[in-house]
Chain A
Amino acid sequence: MIRKERSKIPVKTLLLGQGTCCISAGAEQVYTALKREIAQLGMADSVQVKRTGLCHGFCQLDPVVIIEPEGLLYSEVKVDDVPEIARSFLPGERLVERLFYHSPVTGEAIPRYRDIAFYQRQQRTVLKNCGYIDPEEIDDYLTNGGYQALRQVLLEMTPEQVIKQVKDSGLRGLGGAGFPTGRKWESCYQAAENEKYVVCNADEGDPGAFQDRSILEGDPHSVLEGMIIAGYAVGAAQGYIYVRAEYPLAVKRLRSAIVQAREEGFLGEDIFGSGFGFDIEIFPGAGAFVCGESTALVLSIEGKRGMPKPLPRPRTTEVGLWNKPTLLNNVKTFAAIRWIINKGADWFSSIGTKKSKGTAIFSLTGKTVNCGLIEVPMGITLREIIFGIGGGIPDNKKFKAVQTGGPSGGVLPESLLDTAIDFDSLTAAGSMMGSGGMVVVDEETCMVDLARYFLDFTQKESCGQCSLCRLGSLQMLEILTAITKGEGRMADIDLLIELGEGIKIGSLCGLGQSAPNPVLSTIRYFRAEYEAHILMQQCPAKRCKALISYYIVPDKCTGCTACQRQCPVNAITGDRKKIHVIDQNKCTRCGICLSVCPERFSAVESVPGRLVSGD
């Protein structure tokens, strides 16, 4: 392979993230413009413009330009800003202060990203290289310690030693269930078969989760390296990456990484002259959420319908892909392996809590000031994440709950914000670590509607073979929909609990067994909200259209006719300069009146419950 000749070591490096999210914010155009501009100013040797796989996870600031070695961060960079940025590197020019991140609290500019609250409390371990290296240049990975762990494993360690190191590290499967990784490897290693497989589960499907995609886009070689090490440890020669076809950029970068790893001899026969050979194939999924379940995933690779196999059955590590012992781990788990080998089991187990070692990666989304991809040590509290890293709730709204673990997880209220999060504490609280989605909701979110949303998702994604999951989630969805429409009955709450508990106990696979979690946890912590919907016919969060009303405050209405003209059903009466009134019988609660009422009047309000005309 021809390595790039670099005549001079650049004085500055500008890092531009090119993940799916960055690209959608326009990062590609900014990169091209910046590269051209720097070249035109004759600084191509001293200022390197470098594409990286991702930004540094602070998604809402995209496109972001990071200037190393100073660690300066320009946020929300537009193509129009590029000439000014480029000129700032000329001698005597000043930095572009207006593009610095500004604290939402104090308003002051924070030039260095390490000083931004979003980054301060993070502990980037698995994500260390994401945002620094170019995922399509293997050299970049190599200069950052890449494939050193593989080298060490193949040349200096026995498979038993590798397994012992992974066991000692305390790493638990980061796909959500938290099964001890070392034990899984050991079980696959002990399976008495010559042919074995290693499968990487990259079928990330939870709404709101994007960590696996980020690692695949930002640091694909770390996943490959983890898989090859796993192959050596358990005795497999072939690996598969089952990746969502909806992640085209991740698939593209994985493909290019595999090609480059083969060219460099990290994949193929006789790696590092050790006699050990391993290769990896990509298998794009067909869009079924349930194929994230290990047995369904295996069937899908075999070309069959992805339906989980019921217990009791042998473990996948004994009878997996093509009935051969198969080691199946998540993207994040494989990505963590090289660090455990490089830095040692003790280093890894020094991070985290007693039973959950290392770090956790979350996609922090929803109603927080800062959103993005974060990596934190296990044991950090939800409060530290949401109010520290996330910067709290925007627009002076009140925090209401945080949903972790996607549709399989649960909703946790404010009283549990000081819970130190790890696999076990989240499960005890009625939620789960899951794949690491973390959706924060404020007071404007209706918890019944939130539960309904997740049930709608699981119901559609149920594989359909098991009666409790297929029909139980449908039944719960029907009940929740009725409640949000004001057609709930008081007995429904207990019925939901009864159904939920039965479905959890009796369902065939993890999808059904966890599908009731959003319902059960919202009832557990927000029962009053369910009761308000049923008994008072009110949606306290003013989200459920059937259980709210729009009302024009007479003292505030100036009779501007803005709402009256826009109302699609002519429910608003009132002439110019006369107070307008909504006919509640005609109103379809579309909310247009509220959105068109000029802010200086703010005369239209939404209120919980149904008003009767004349109120």
Chain B
Amino acid sequence: MRKITFVINGRKIETNERNTILRASLAHGIYIPHLCDHPDLTPFGGCRLCVVEIEGRGLTISCKAPVEEGLVVQTETPVINKVRRIAAELLIVNHHAECLQCVRNTECKLQDIAAYIGIEADHLQRLRQTAGDHPIDNSNPFFIRNPNKCVLCGICVRTCEEINGVRVLDFAFRGYETKISTLMNKPINESVCESCGECVVRCPTGALIIKDYQRPDRVVTTICPYCGTGCGIQLGVRGNKVVSVRGDRDNPINKGQLCVKGRFGYHFIDHPDRLTTPLIKRNGAFVKASWDKALELVATKFKEAQDRYGPEALAGLSSARITNEENYLFQKLLRCLGTNSIDHCARL
């Protein structure tokens, strides 16, 4: 791809052609406030915060403006600051700003913008509070939609369309009644939503949050235990407990994406119904047993079957929930026992 050089705030930047001014600037450590742009998605241009000035052309939004050779861009002028401040203040007085109770606290894009612009109390007090009191959609088992914290950046809409291809959400209604809605404005569990949670991780504010979320104190990078795709995940661990799962953006398999099982299906780890020891049925009831006892029993039964019907009487079905290496060993074991009847649950 061709390289383009342009100047921003007096600094020369080299970037790929077709990049936008906003993304090129961010990549070079120059912050431009923005809310509706996301690196995974098509630029939208709705929040109006990323406004910059191009010499000889005037104001433009940097998320939609492609870089061009020789452009001279300013990100801080009185006019830019005026427009940006107005847009930010309007968003803040339209927001249920209960930051201390908000899951997204300190990870909120609106907070970042407010901090960067420097919102002053007396400035805000001149404005009327316009935040509505919309019902919260609790219908999904994994996440909550709170329209009172929505900034209508449309990231969830584009995520659903461009990342997951399901198109559950879109803009609906007009004027200040505009909101992000499912088809016919039904609760999200009555839509075709697959609960992949891709929108939740991209939401810049507290409008889409994971239920009962706990912030982890450390992150462990590993592989999703579910299917054979082998998505990279980052387990959020708090104390000795897994409290969250994120897609690993650096993993070449999934590049950060996850499905509903990988993202939300980790509660089996500490589930009371989870089997922690082998069980052996005696007199119609399962009884806890040691691994040695259990393996001994299995070996005995294998042997009996082999002796009575020949090795072909045995078959093995392995699981995607174990690793590739374990699956390899499993088929090796079965072949040693003299059978080629081996299958796998993910081969369906």
Q: Is A200 an interface residue (CB 8 A)?
A: no
> Considering the complex, which residues of chain A in the window 219-251 have a beta carbon less than 8 Å from any beta carbon of chain B?
none
Q: Contact at A471–B48, with CB atoms within 8 Å?
A: no
A288 CA to B172 CA, complexed, in Å: 12
A310-B61, A506-B48 known; A470+B87 contact, CB < 8 A: no
Q: Contact at A468–B83, with CB atoms within 8 Å?
A: yes
Q: Is B51 an interface residue (CB 8 A)?
A: yes
Count of B interface residues, CB-CB < 8 Å: 38
Q: Contact at A464–B175, with CB atoms within 8 Å?
A: yes
CB-defined interface of B123-165 with A at 8 Å, one 1/0 digit per residue? 0001110100000000000000000000110100000000000
Q: Contact at A508–B48, with CB atoms within 8 Å?
A: yes
Q: Contact at B64–A313, with CB atoms within 8 Å?
A: yes
Which residues from chain B contact A472 at a C-beta distance below 8 Å? Answer: 86, 90
Chain B: which residue is nearest A474 at the CB level? B176
Q: Contact at B152–A462, with CB atoms within 8 Å?
A: no
CB-defined interface of B68-90 with A at 8 Å, one 1/0 digit per residue? 00000000000100110111001
Q: Contact at B130–A506, with CB atoms within 8 Å?
A: no
Q: Is B286 an interface residue (CB 8 A)?
A: no
Q: Is B170 an interface residue (CB 8 A)?
A: yes
Q: Contact at A468–B171, with CB atoms within 8 Å?
A: no
A470 CA to B61 CA, complexed, in Å: 17
**Of A270-278, A369-377, A497-505, which stretch is located at the interface?**
A497-505
Select A305's contact among B46, B87, B170, B175, beta carbons within 8 Å: B170
Q: Contact at B45–A310, with CB atoms within 8 Å?
A: yes
Given contacts A290-B174, A506-B87, 10 further A-B contacts (CB under 8 A): A288-B174, A309-B45, A310-B44, A312-B66, A459-B176, A466-B46, A467-B151, A499-B86, A505-B83, A506-B59
A313 CA to B61 CA, complexed, in Å: 11
Chain A: which residue is nearest B172 at the CB level? A305
Q: Is A607 an interface residue (CB 8 A)?
A: no
Q: Is A569 an interface residue (CB 8 A)?
A: no
Which residues from chain A contact B65 at a C-beta distance below 8 Å? Answer: 312
Q: Contact at B61–A465, with CB atoms within 8 Å?
A: no
CB-defined interface of B40-73 with A at 8 Å, one 1/0 digit per residue? 0000111111010000000111001110000000
CB-defined interface of B165-184 with A at 8 Å, one 1/0 digit per residue? 00000110111111000000
Which residues from chain A contact B154 at a C-beta distance below 8 Å? Answer: 465
**Of A67-75, A123-131, A319-327, A475-483, which stretch is located at the interface?**
A475-483
CB-defined interface of A483-497 with B at 8 Å, one 1/0 digit per residue? 000000101100100
Q: Is A431 an interface residue (CB 8 A)?
A: no
A468-B48, A508-B45, A508-B48 known; A502+B178 contact, CB < 8 A: no
A505 CA to B60 CA, complexed, in Å: 10
Q: Is B219 an interface residue (CB 8 A)?
A: no
A305-B170, A506-B51, A508-B45 known; A468+B152 contact, CB < 8 A: no
> Considering the complex, which residues of chain B in the window 216-250 have a beta carbon less than 8 Å from any beta carbon of chain A?
none
Q: Is A168 an interface residue (CB 8 A)?
A: no
Q: Contact at A502–B173, with CB atoms within 8 Å?
A: no
Q: Is B210 an interface residue (CB 8 A)?
A: no
Q: Could you list 23 examples of A-B contacts with CB < 8 Å?
A: A288-B174, A312-B60, A459-B176, A462-B174, A462-B175, A462-B176, A463-B174, A465-B152, A466-B47, A466-B48, A467-B48, A467-B49, A468-B83, A468-B86, A470-B175, A474-B175, A489-B126, A501-B82, A502-B83, A502-B85, A505-B82, A506-B83, A508-B48
Question: In the assembled complex, how far is the CB of residue A378 from the closest CB belonging to chain B, in whole angstroms?
Answer: 28
Q: Contact at A464–B128, with CB atoms within 8 Å?
A: no
Question: In the assembled complex, how far is the CB of residue A454 from the closest CB belonging to chain B, in whole angstroms?
Answer: 13
Question: In the assembled complex, how far is the CB of residue A466 from the closest CB belonging to chain B, in whole angstroms?
Answer: 5
Which residues from chain A contact B61 at a C-beta distance below 8 Å? Answer: 310-311
Q: Contact at A462–B178, with CB atoms within 8 Å?
A: yes
Which residues from chain B contact A468 at a C-beta distance below 8 Å? Answer: 48, 83, 86-87, 90
CB-defined interface of A443-479 with B at 8 Å, one 1/0 digit per residue? 0000000000000000111111111101111110011
Question: In the assembled complex, how far is the CB of residue B186 from the closest CB belonging to chain A, in whole angstroms?
Answer: 18
Q: Is B7 an interface residue (CB 8 A)?
A: no
Chain B: which residue is nearest A478 at the CB level? B128
Q: Is A337 an interface residue (CB 8 A)?
A: no
Which residues from chain B contact A506 at a C-beta distance below 8 Å? Answer: 48, 51, 59, 83, 86-87
Which residues from chain A contact B151 at a C-beta distance below 8 Å? Answer: 467
A310 CA to B174 CA, complexed, in Å: 17
Q: Is A307 an interface residue (CB 8 A)?
A: yes
A473 CA to B176 CA, complexed, in Å: 9
Select A470's contact among B64, B93, B178, beta carbons within 8 Å: B178
Chain B: which residue is nearest A313 at the CB level? B64
Q: Is A317 an interface residue (CB 8 A)?
A: no
